Amino acid sequence: MHISPVLWQFLVKWLNASALFPREASTIAPYTDALYFFLLLITIVGLTLVGALVFGFAIRYRKERSPIATQVEGSTLLEATWTIIPLALFLICFVWGALLYFRIFNPPANAMNIYVVGKQWMWKAEHQGGQHEINSLHVPTGQPIQLTMISQDVFHSFSIPDFRVKREVIPGRYSTVWFEATTPGTYHIFCTQYCGTKHSGMIGEVTVLTPDDYKKWTEESTSGMSLAQNGERLFASMGCNSCHSGSATSRGPNLANVYGSKLKLANGSEVLVNEAFLRDTILNPSQHVPVGYAPIMPTYQGQISEEGLIDLVEFIKSLKTNYRVQQTLTTSESNQVTPQDTTGVVKP
């Protein structure tokens, strides 16, 4: 039979381009693959055993060779064997899987935080230094990266198969995942939770750079404003500073150094102030009134985008003194007194 050389070339190329096993491009990948091969081994052994039993019995006890069946009740010893051995194997899988789970979902303390916002049908990445990306993510090798992710609309799921990491991106709630990339290159980002029409278009690329290239990239692609600086601007324009001015007489609590502290609430509970708490307090303030303050803060639900909330959270995290808050406040008050300068102020 004669195959056209064009077709032959196409077939060879097509088969060569096909993937059979994902690349190992993060520090987690070898651990996941080790467990995978262990599970695969159990499967193959189990299948071989069952196959050998079924085929063996089917051949040995087929009617031609075994015209009369011998009735057997059962065997407690055998029942115990095939209860205990699978149970033991499954428990090994459980423990191994649990260890891996904690490794993947507990980030190291020195991880660099990048925010990811998912929406129908794109991924937006927000770097601390003010780099904004859509459907792409640049990260350096050799540096643990933590992604703090949230969805603006429906459930999404952020997956990088070559890193073996994945986490649901949930509306109204931060979820995190971390990885440390090992090999420069580009890798797929998939949304793996069905999210509507263009679900399969909600894909992107993570570009892993060497630390030097990464440094160059950050310098070239910054928007000039860090997340905290954006947040500071928003803090002033939303009028947050009029209550959270940091002075002893102000109506809102002092926000300097509040991040990471333990806060006593009016309902008697004590909470750790983290990103999720800060975000939720802006949206549902009446749920989180600190002790000693009146529940007067209005909700900002629907008024600030997820990106804006990230900026605000980053600003509050960075707030070590109230010096600049008060300065901004004085400036904006003097602006209102002198209506000639109307930039950024809407006339009533």
Partner 1 sequence: MSAATIVNLPDQKTAVIPKKNYINAEDGILSWLFTADHKRIAILYLISITFFFLVGGTFAGLIRLELLTPQPDLVASDTYNKLFTMHGIVMIFLFLVPSIPATLGNFLIPIMIGTRDLAFPKINLLSWYLYMFGAIFLSAAIVLGGVDTGWTFTTPLSTHYLNTHVVTAGLGVFIVGFSSIFTGLNFIVTIHRMRAPGMTWFRLPLFVWSNYAASVLMVLGTPVLAITLVLVVLERTIGIGVFDPTKGGDPLLFQHLFWFYSHPAVYIMILPGFGVISEVMSTFSRKRVFGYSAVAFSSVAIALFGFFVWAHHMFIMGVSNYSALVFSLLTMLVAVPSAIKVFNWSFTMQKGSITFETPMLYALAFIGLFTIGGLTGVFLGSLGMDIHLTETYFIVAHFHYVMVGGMLMAFLAGLHFWWPKLTGRMYPESISQLSAVTSFIGFNLTFMPQFMLGYLGMPRRYHSYPPEFQVLNVLSTAGATVLGFGFLMPVLYLLWSLKYGKIAGNNPWQATGLEWQIQSPPLTENFIEMPVMDHEAYDYEWLAHKTEQEVTTVG
Contacts of 339 (CB under 8 A, 6+ apart): 345, 347
Q: Is 83 in the site for partner 1 (CB under 8 A)?
A: yes
State which residue, 171 or 185, has the beta carbon closest to partner 1.
Answer: 171
Determine, following the binding rule CB under 8 A, whether residue 39 of this chain makes contact with partner 1: yes
Nearer to partner 1, 154 or 238 (CB): 154
41 is a site residue for partner 1 (CB under 8 A): no
Q: How far is the CB of 38 from partner 1 (least distance, A)?
A: 9
| Residues 282, 191: Cα–Cα separation, whole Å | 28
Looking at the DSSP bridge assignments, the partners of residue 119 are 122
If the CB atoms of residues 32 and 322 are measured against partner 1, the closer one turns out to be 32
> Which is it for strands 136-140 and 203-209: parallel, antiparallel or unpaired?
parallel
173 scored as a contact of partner 1 (CB under 8 A) = yes
Residues in the chain: 348
| Piece of the chain touching partner 1 by CB under 8 A; list 161-169, 211-219, 228-236, 288-296 | 161-169
Residue nearer to partner 1 on the CB measure, 116 or 319: 116
Do residues 147 and 126 lie in contact, with contact meaning Cβ atoms separated by under 8 Å? Answer: no
* Binding of partner 1 by 12 (CB under 8 A): no
Nearer to partner 1, 192 or 326 (CB): 192
Region 215-274 residues binding partner 1, contact defined as CB under 8 A = none
Instruction: Report how far residue 34's alpha carbon sits from residue 246's, in angstroms, rounded to the nearest whole number.
Output: 53
Window contacting partner 1 (CB under 8 A); options: 123-131, 155-163, 227-235, 257-265: 155-163
- Pull the structure tokens for residue 233: 């601007």
Q: In Å, how far are 51, 73, 238, 244 from 227, measured between CA atoms?
A: 60, 72, 16, 19
